[in-house]
Amino acid sequence: MEHTEIALTVIQRLTSRIARICEWISAALFAALFLIFVAQVFWRYVLRDPLVWTLEVAGILFVTLSLFTAATQMRIRDHVALDLVVDLFPNRIAGLARGFSLWLFGTIMLLSIPDTIDVLEWMYRERTHAIKFNLGHIFVLMIFFVVTYVVRAFLDGFVMARDGADAGA
């Protein structure tokens, strides 16, 4: 085996393991969200004594789950895309067009990081009502989300430009 083949195999195994860990994290977040929701319904409608904190925790878990799962597990093609014109071109040209659009998207996301940090600084001054949770902690995931999308956009754009439009599907 050549060194490049060994390196690709190691990268593929590492990527697979990271993806699996991310799936488990998403599943755990969803399970926690579901249990909090069930507790909220039970206390409110069965015991007639609503738990105020469950609404806040459910909201925090929902945002965390949404951002984390979208950044780590959704394929680029699963996101909303307007590719009516690109689909008219041959596979190779469509791949170049999609690759270019992903590089453009990645560049814009990269340029949005300073503004995202500004929003984070503002969010660190906000707290939830019942549990006094600092909302800045949850929105740190926005930085992770943006950086993950930048990396994925550049990598997927390269693969599509090299192998054609169907490569990133």
Q: What is the mean pLDDT of each run of 10 residues along the chain (169 residues)?
A: 74 88 96 96 94 92 90 74 77 87 92 89 86 85 85 87 71
Q: Which residues are 127's β-sheet partners? A: 134
Domain ranges of the chain: 1-73, 78-169
Q: Is the separation of the CB atoms in 15 and 73 below 8 Å?
A: no
Distance in angstroms (rounded) separating the CA atoms of residues 71 and 22: 10
Q: Residues 58-107: pLDDT tens digits?
A: 999 998 999 888 888 887 666 666 677 777 888 888 888 888 988 999 99
Number of neighbouring beta carbons within 10 Å of residue 167: 16
pTM attached to this predicted model: 0.73
Contacts of 104 (CB under 8 A, 6+ apart): none
